[in-house]
Amino acid sequence: MIIVGGGVAGLMAALAASPYPVTLLNPGPLGVAAASAMSQGGLAAAVGADDSVALHVADTLAAGAGLCDPEAVERIIGAGPALVETLLRLGVRFDRDAASALAVGLEAAHARPRILHGNGDQTGAEIMRALMARVRATPSITIVQAVARKIVVGDNGVAGVLAVRGSEILLLPSDRVLLATGGIGGLFSHTTNPEGAIGHGLMLAMDVGAELADLEFIQFHPTALDVAGASLPLISEAVRGEGARFIDETGAYFMRGGDLAPRDVVARGVFAHVQAEHQVFLDAREIGARFATRFPAIAAICARAGIDPMTQPIPVRPAAHYHMGGVVVDAAGRTSIEGLYAAGEVARTGLHGANRLASNSLLEAAICGEAAGLAMAALQVKPLRDVQAELPALPDAVPVRPIMSAHLGVLRDAAGMGLAAEKFAEMAGQNPAAALALRIAQAALARKNSVGAHARVETKQFYKAA
Ligand SMILES: Cc1cc2nc3c(=O)[nH]c(=O)nc-3n(C[C@H](O)[C@H](O)[C@H](O)COP(=O)(O)OP(=O)(O)OC[C@H]3O[C@@H](n4cnc5c(N)ncnc54)[C@H](O)[C@@H]3O)c2cc1C
């Protein structure tokens, strides 16, 4: 079995498949350049005393704006409490309260406190630490530092992966491959994702004709730290959960709908204020000295940028954050191509609909990675025939970024999306990143109304203040 990508989805799949032999491909050392390791806010699961799966399901469906698959929501959210037990067994150290119970925090659009943290705001890094240790200690898992460049498909379904390690080309035969390659934020000029998260898995899936869906639904985080560079550090929503408020350069509060309104509403509010030539800040001064202990990683990020959140407002801007769409999968992670599976952010399970509820993605990556690993290990072995394959053109996100940011960002209109589609079509033949961007632009054009994270200004319903 080949797993492409060593984030939470890929690692959970590899562990679930054990002792079935797994080759895990990742471009560099595990944990580097994986969104999983950068997650701050936490992992949502209905484990609090006054919480229930039904309440978590209701919040997820509300965020998804009518476009979630209710069966997927019930299944994935319902598996949350058991996943927390699994992660504890695997060695994840979630934060605990004074009575040693799991500590749960509140986040935007969650009706109950249900966000589990690890080391305060280093939840993803803590989960990755535990999973990486387990993976390294599992003899059936071989880690290969290489980039998957092509899924090889024969008459019989998947036949292997063509990967590149330095100047070496590897043809790795296998009748089952899992895409666990993460998101697409790197297709934009500003993102919270690692810069290399340009949708490799979607390009690999497109190349073999796998079904994709909901590509137009891209979540923008309202509060990336407004510093130079493409990959911007995130100032987690949890900071607003603890009382920080939006202000502009005049010190005025401007956010209609409230600081903890759903993420898309807040992102549009921030974006509209930036477009009106204001500077936007997050004022966390009231949190005071607690900031450094509650948010040690964010405090360090701010310190590196020369900002002291105890005395200064934090400059922020919206940035591409999470892709709700992806490769269409069923409950076992199966795609429309025999032997090809997908899990984590690259997959479209139906959990998120038009918008993801904060902290539901680590949950989804872990649960669906595990399910895919189990399903793949249980497949009957198929004989592999000799297959030939050639490397496709190398994806280049650089010419794609300004066009995506200008026309497929927080606020969209038909003329801009049409222009973007034309430009991407010109480049698509030579550049798989442009071919993917073209599919995203086409999906966005085809979605005529504003819904969830897809906001068309000409529909006049895009700023939905609560
Ligand atoms: C800053 C930030 C904060 C976040 N905070 C939260 C949060 O608090 N809670 C939450 O639920 N979600 C959060 N998210 C979202 C969440 O982290 C991701 O959706 C989730 O971790 C995705 O996991 P994954 O395993 O699918 O992908 P990733 O963790 O991104 O891992 C994908 C891996 O695949 C590798 N890869 C890609 N292409 C190839 C290829 N061709 N060949 C080989 N390897 C490849 C990548 O290098 C990477 O290592 C956050 C995201 C970011 C960026």
Q: Which of 263, 356, 412, 439 is catalytic?
A: 263
Q: Does the annotation mark 263 as catalytic?
A: yes
- With a CB cutoff of 8 Å and minimum separation 6, the contacts of 279 are 226, 248, 249, 315
Does residue 437 line the site of ligand 1, with CB under 6 A? no
Condensed to tens digits (0 to 9), the pLDDT of residues 342-385 reads: 999 999 999 999 999 989 999 999 999 999 999 999 999 887 77
Least confident stretch, 39-53, 247-261, 297-311: 247-261
Residue 424, in any domain of the structure: yes
- Residues 49 and 147 occupy one common structural domain: yes
Supply the CATH number for residue 253's domain.
Answer: 3.90.700.10
C-alpha span between 3 and 158 (Å, rounded): 13
Structure tokens at 441: 């632009």
Is ligand 1 within 6 A of the CB of residue 192?
Answer: yes
3-state class (DSSP) for residue 56 = helix
Domain count, the chain: 3
Strands 22-26 and 280-283: unpaired
Ligand 1 within 6 A of CB of 25? yes
Answer for the pair 112, 50: CB distance below 8 angstroms, yes or no: yes
Q: Note whether 167 and 287 are same-domain residues.
A: no
Residue 221 lies in a domain: no
Q: What residue owns the CA closest to ligand 1's atom 26?
A: 344
Are 305 and 341 within one domain? no
Q: Which domain holds residue 282?
A: 228-318
CATH number at residue 59: 3.50.50.60
Torsion of CA 414, 420, 425, 431, to 10 degrees: -150
Dist. CA 180–CA 326, nearest whole Å: 11
Give the contacts of 148 (CB within 8 A, at least 6 positions apart).
2, 4, 25, 161, 162, 163, 181, 200, 204
| Ligand 1 pocket: which of 26, 195, 327 to mutate (most atoms within 8 A of CB) | 26
Looking at the structure, tell me whether residues 16 and 151 fall in a common domain.
Answer: yes
Virtual torsion, Cα 419, 421, 425, 428, nearest 10 deg = 130
> Model confidence over 255-271: pLDDT tens digits?
887 888 777 888 999 98
344 Cβ inside 6 Å of ligand 1:
yes
Mutate to test the pocket of ligand 1, among 84, 361, 364, 391 (most ligand atoms within 8 A of CB): 361
Which DSSP letter does residue 342 get?
E
Examine the domain organization and report whether 299 and 446 are in the same domain: no
Residue 331's Cβ-side half-sphere holds a number of Cα atoms within 13 Å equal to: 9
Q: What is the mean pLDDT of residues 303-331?
A: 96
User: What is the pTM assigned to this prediction?
Assistant: 0.95
Q: How confident is the model at residue 21 (pLDDT cuts 50, 70, 90)?
A: very high
| Residue of minimum CA distance from atom 6 in ligand 1 | 39
Instruction: Return the pLDDT at 460.
Output: 59
Q: Torsion angle of alpha carbons 329, 333, 334, 337, nearest 10°?
A: 70
Task: Convert the pLDDT of each residue in 147-205 to its tens digit.
Answer: 999 999 988 899 999 999 999 999 999 999 999 999 999 999 999 999 999 999 999 99
